[in-house]
Amino acid sequence: MAQGSPVGTIDDIFVKIQENQKGVIDEALREQRGSVGRLLSLDHAMKAWEDLLTNEPEGTLIINGRREFGRAIYLACGGHYGAAFAGLRLYLELSFAAIFFSANELKRRKWLADSYDFSWSAALNEADGVLSSDFVGAFNQSAVVDAQSYKAKAAAVYRDCSQFIHGKESSTSTIPSQLVYSQNTLEQWCKLASDAIECVQVLFFSRYGQELLPSDSGSVENTMLETIAHLPSVRKILETPRTENGQ
């Protein structure tokens, strides 16, 4: 600490930030409780996928992705909007990387050894990306048609979040320069977060739905009720009777 600096200044600064953030959270929940509550509910429901896949090689990425989604909700409610958009993009990257590496063991091992970089553009490649007809068809043929529109949705969410990370003026200028509540920014973030988790649900269903569903408990199917139950391929699974062990 520089000579002459008043004792306690650092503590005072962080206490003040904490107090400001509490006020932002209070206002955010007062104004956007429904939207935030829905995202928390969807995040909690996604634990069913996490539990189902935790022992798979890609399980750690799935767990880390969900953790980042929850952290991003907190950051968004606390007024840390730039970090919240960054966290949402990281959630997408980790989730899509998990599915990409689930079918590319060599690349996964090289990535773990820090000799391979995951590419978002490769993951969304039209020919063989994780939502392409070729990829989805290999794992869940019934989901091929339904998965197609989600390539564009995932790309749009990723791009919007990237605008904030890269300091694009048209995006960063909408974020308050101080730690205050912004209704428009939080609404925008909640919309992107809802789209992001819907894309991830489709992604997981496209990769694992044919193999792992219907589940014994039906908990995984319940994660899709609020968001993607309208898709014909998902409806087919939801209407399939569970095994006797799951009754």
pTM of the predicted model over 0.85? yes
Higher pLDDT, 175 or 169: 175
Burial readout 128-167 (b: 16 or more C-beta within 10 A, e: otherwise): ebbbbbebbeebbebbbebbeebbeebbebbebbebbeee
The helix (run of H) or strand (run of E) holding residue 185 is: helix 183-212
- Measured distance CA(160)–CA(158) in Å, rounded: 6
Q: What residue type is 58 in one-letter code?
A: E
- Measured distance CA(108)–CA(101) in Å, rounded: 5
Asked if pLDDT for residue 7 goes beyond 80, the answer is no
Asked if pLDDT for residue 246 goes beyond 50, the answer is no
Percent of the chain at pLDDT > 70 equals 94
Asked if pLDDT for residue 51 goes beyond 80, the answer is yes
pLDDT confidence bin for 2, thresholds 50/70/90: very low
Give the CA count within 13 Å in the CB-facing half-sphere of 140.
27
pLDDT confidence bin for 161, thresholds 50/70/90: very high
- Measured distance CA(70)–CA(39) in Å, rounded: 9
Higher pLDDT, 151 or 8: 151
Question: Which value, to the nearest 10 degrees, does the dihedral of the CA atoms of residues 67, 80, 163, 128 take?
Answer: 10
Residue with token string 């799935």? 62
The pLDDT tens digits of the residues spanning 79-112 come to 999 999 999 999 999 999 999 999 999 999 999 9
Q: What is the pLDDT of residue 72?
A: 98
The pLDDT tens digits of the residues spanning 112-138 come to 999 999 999 999 999 999 999 999 999
The torsion angles phi and psi of 232, rounded to 5 degrees, stand at -55, -40
pLDDT confidence bin for 5, thresholds 50/70/90: very low
- Measured distance CA(51)–CA(64) in Å, rounded: 13
Query: What's the gap between Cα 243 and its chain centre?
Result: 30
- Measured distance CA(26)–CA(59) in Å, rounded: 35
Torsion 178-21-200-64 (CA) sign: positive
Provide the mean pLDDT of the chain.
92
